[in-house]
Structure 1
Amino acid sequence: MSDPSLNNESLRYDAPGELADVRAFVAARAAALGLPQGRIELLVLAVSELATNTLQHTDGGGVVRVFAQAGSLVCDVVDQGAMRQMGRSMPAAGATGGRGLAIVERVCDEVETAAVAEGTRVRIRLRL
């Protein structure tokens, strides 16, 4: 994992044992950028779901970036995975998976995906 002091806005993660570090990094950046505590918890939940998907479904880990832009806190999760389909319905209670992206869409104000030079980016926004 990268040293977050090298770049205050981003953190690289490569292994499941680093998910706690990802959550702590996101929470600290969000607090520093002025996101209210209740919204920080939603952001951490969303990023945790995205980072877990990265580790379960891709090779090479990912990068999380957190920054403020135009009245919103923006968080990018970038990995080498395929483009994600948004607009998912919540799976049935008995389903064994498939809730992660549906949860992300429900707790964030905006969610978008894009192909970028580094791979695939999921960008989430929460209004400050």
Structure 2
Amino acid sequence: MDTVSLPPSPATVLCTLDLRTETHPPRHARSALRDVLRRHTRVRLSPEQMEAAVLVVSELVTNACRHTPGPVELRVLWRASHLVVQVEDRSPAIPAVTPCEGRGDCGGYGLLLVEELTDNWTVETGPCGKTVEVTLRRELG
């Protein structure tokens, strides 16, 4: 039997949000994500999955605003029955999970949450910065 390689599934862009003019980008991103996920009937998430997606978006946008200069953009996609979130910023620095001794009362836990709540996360760098992409878990627990 011959094996046929299929091209990757195309993604449907559900939302693109430029957060550079927002007073509170993480709050705006959370609100926009909830609205987008409620509007799109193809996207069927449990309440737990919805809250996990909102938490992941909040963490990624907060990190981008806190640790990088310049504008931040949020993209929400639906690809092969998976919710995909991309956060783009202007820094080439690759984010890393903070070691235990570096965590404190005010931070260092965000990427641990992202790792726990997503199937995977990747970083793609380019000449103008980077894009952090996460694929949300289909099943939580």
Do the structures match in fold with TM over 0.5?
yes
Contact 2:14 2:77 in 1 (8 A): no
Contact 2:59 2:111 in 1 (8 A): yes
Amino acid at match of 1:19: P
TM-superposed CA distance for 1:51, in Å, is 0.6
**Aligned residue among 94, 108, 112 for 1:83:** 94
Give the structure with the higher percent helix.
1
**Aligned residue among 71, 75, 78 for 2:81:** 71
Instruction: Give ranges in structure 1 of 5+ residues lacking alignment.
Output: 1-6
1:59 is paired with a residue whose SS is coil
2:70 is paired with a residue whose SS is coil
Amino acid at match of 2:28: D
Q: Which residue of 2 aligns with 1:12?
A: 18
Q: Structure 2 CA distance, aligned partners of 1:52 and 1:73?
A: 20
- Count residues with an aligned counterpart: 120
CA RMSD of aligned residues (A): 2.4
Q: Which residue of 2 aligns with 1:123?
A: 133
Amino acid at match of 1:77: V
Stretch of structure 1 that moved more, 18-27 or 43-52: 18-27
2:131 is paired with a residue whose SS is strand
Q: Structure 2 CA distance, aligned partners of 1:125 and 1:52?
A: 18
1:9 is paired with a residue whose SS is strand
Q: Structure 2 CA distance, aligned partners of 1:64 and 1:38?
A: 21
Give TM-score, length-normalised by structure 2.
Answer: 0.73
Q: Structure 2 CA distance, aligned partners of 1:65 and 1:118?
A: 17
Instruction: Give ranges in structure 2 of 5+ residues lacking alignment.
Output: 1-12
Amino acid at match of 1:78: E
TM-superposed CA distance for 1:8, in Å, is 5.0
Contact 2:119 2:137 in 1 (8 A): yes
Q: Structure 1 CA distance, aligned partners of 2:137 and 2:68?
A: 29
1:104 maps to 2:114: yes
Between the aligned residues of both structures, percent identity stands at: 29
Give TM-score, length-normalised by structure 1.
Answer: 0.79
Q: Which residue of 1 aligns with 2:70?
A: 60
